[in-house]
Amino acid sequence: MHEMSICESILSILKEQSRTQGFSRVERVCLEIGPLAGVEIDALEFGFDVVMRNSLAEGAKLEVHHCPAEAWCMQCAQTVSIKQRYDACSKCGSHQLQVTSGEELRIKELEVN
């Protein structure tokens, strides 16, 4: 349950950006979260509303963009898509996979006033 901490981090980034980019309200926060980032989206949405209360982002819309989880299969020498970390390669069944994407946890863009 570190979704609350993640929301705190988001708020601190918003405050920092409001100073450097000169805005006073955040209308929408667009996140990019990979399926392997270890984040429960429902918990994040709950935490977001609570943490943003009484801040420059009170009532802001939270949008989550999911990106695919992919891994490099050493046996097939190609990128394959995976669902979980322990998935085998869908082509050859090997577990010699190097996760290449799916761990993203970042703020992609903001709509501000």
Partner 1 sequence: MCNVCGCGPGEVRIESDPTGKKVSDHSHQHAHSYDHDHAHDHAHEHHHHEQGHKHHEHHGHDHPHHGDGTHDYGSGPAGASVPGMSQSRMIQLEHDILAKNNTYAAANRQYFSDHGILALNLVSSPGSGKTTLLVRTIEELADGVDAYVVEGDQQTSADADRIRATGAPAIQVNTGKGCHLDGHMVGHAVDHLAPKDGGILFIENVGNLVCPASFDLGEAHKVAILSVTEGEDKPLKYPDMFAAAGVVIINKVDLLPHLDFDIDAAITNARKVNPSIKVLKVSARTGEGMDAWLQWLTAARSMVLAGHQLAVAE
User: Taking CB under 8 A as the rule, does residue 5 contact partner 1?
Assistant: yes
Q: Which amino acid is at 12?
A: S
User: Taking CB under 8 A as the rule, does residue 2 contact partner 1?
Assistant: yes
Least Cβ distance, residue 29 to partner 1 (angstroms): 9
User: Taking CB under 8 A as the rule, does residue 58 contact partner 1?
Assistant: no
Pairing of strands 97-101, 61-66: unpaired
Q: Which two tokens stand for residue 107?
A: 């703020």
User: Taking CB under 8 A as the rule, does residue 49 contact partner 1?
Assistant: no
User: Taking CB under 8 A as the rule, does residue 95 contact partner 1?
Assistant: yes
Token pair 């420059």 is at which residue? Answer: 56
Answer for the pair 71, 88: CB distance below 8 angstroms, yes or no: no
Least Cβ distance, residue 32 to partner 1 (angstroms): 8
Among 45, 55, 76, 79, binds partner 1 (CB under 8 A): 55
Distances (CA, A) of 79 to 33, 34, 66: 19, 16, 18
DSSP code of residue 87: P
Binding residues for partner 1, rule: CB under 8 A, are 1-2, 4-13, 15-19, 21, 23-25, 27, 31, 36-38, 51, 55, 84-86, 88, 95-97, 99, 105-113
